[in-house]
A = this chain, B = another copy of it.
Amino acid sequence: MAITTLNIPIERAEVSKIEQVDFDNLSFGSVFTDHMLVCDYKDGQWEPPKIIPYQAISLEPSAKIFHYGQSIFEGMKAYKDSEGQVWLFRPLDNFKRLNISANRMAIPELPEEYFMEGLKTLVKLDAQWIPQKEGSSLYVRPFVFASGKGFHASPADEYKFLICLAPSGSYFSGKVKVLIEEKYSRAANGGVGYAKAGGNYAGQFYPTQLAIRKGYNQVIWTDDHAHEFIEEAGAMNIFVRIGDTLITAPTSDRILDGITRKSVLDIARDEGIPVEVRKISVSEVVEAAKNGSLKEMFGAGTAAVISPIAGFGFKEVDYELPEIEDSYASRLKKRITDIQFNRSEDKFGWRYKV
């Protein structure tokens, strides 16, 4: 672990809001802790971060975030073990991905120390906000947006980096029904799909609303050329089990390189599960559903953890997935959450003590 000389100044909230929170009935990402980290980019550099009470931000109407969508974010969770120790899961990977997103969106890269030390200091400060109910966690949201001014479609000269914390319940309630998309698309070849950029999400809302109206929870995105191959879901990478083989699409410039996805791949291999990382055609999945070899589908992501998919729709036909004893989804979910909550050995070195 790096020795740091960074001392992040903390301005404490005068009164804590924690007593107002019903920790037994948390929804996802709608309650926020007492503090937040802020860090400004000005005059060509990131200024040192500071921690202040959670509060509103004041911006000029001409700030570029309002006009040109220059924004990126990350999503992580902080976990508390039975002894009250606090853990993060592979946070350096989130940091690296934030800077990959930053590059693609012409946002200046963040220094590692500002991110990592800021994260640790903030999570430590608000550690009493980490829910301990099974299925709940403290969702950690680092984000960067263009605060620089001007109605000119060009990168801003000022940015803000913040980290906010939200004690959260589970992302989906119950099993998920998905629609395999055949008209709309999430990402272009050579586009920004691999970046965790704001605009990638807004673009999904309308097609997802259409799917929700038809009775689905989520859209599974396919390539924009012929809607032939399965890519990913709104905020999850997608795994398919055909026979005993676990398959997921390779990452590309259209797909987010999910940290849960790559952890699942490592754990599955470790479990001796046959794994394939290759293109998955929709027709292969439909065929497998018809002949009974499609045993499971699930989504994998920080927010949703591992979310079993109960069925999917494609071209106006619904396909149900069987209920499976000892499913890959539940085995893999147990392995990954046991590591996250410090209930098991951490053979991959993913746990990060706060």
Name A residues whose Cβ lies closer than 8 Å to a Cβ of B.
27-30, 32, 36, 54-62, 65-71, 73, 75, 103-106, 139, 141, 143, 145-146, 149-155, 162, 164, 166, 168, 171, 181, 183-192, 197-206, 208-209, 224-225, 227, 234-235
Contact = CB atoms under 8 A, between A and B. Distances in A.
Q: List the number of copies, as a whole number.
A: 2
A292 to B, nearest CB: 31
Contacts of A183: 190
A325 B302 CA distance: 61
Given A65-B65, A66-B65, A154-B205, A190 B185 contact: yes
Contact of A56 (B58, B145, B162): B58
Given A105-B203, A201-B67, A32 B62 contact: yes
A234 B155 CA distance: 13
Given A67-B143, A191-B224, A202 B199 contact: yes
A64 to B, nearest CB: 8
19 contacts: A28-B151, A29-B151, A30-B151, A57-B59, A66-B71, A66-B73, A66-B143, A66-B198, A67-B73, A69-B197, A70-B198, A70-B201, A70-B205, A153-B201, A153-B204, A153-B234, A188-B188, A188-B224, A190-B224
A98 to B, nearest CB: 13
B202 A69 contact: yes
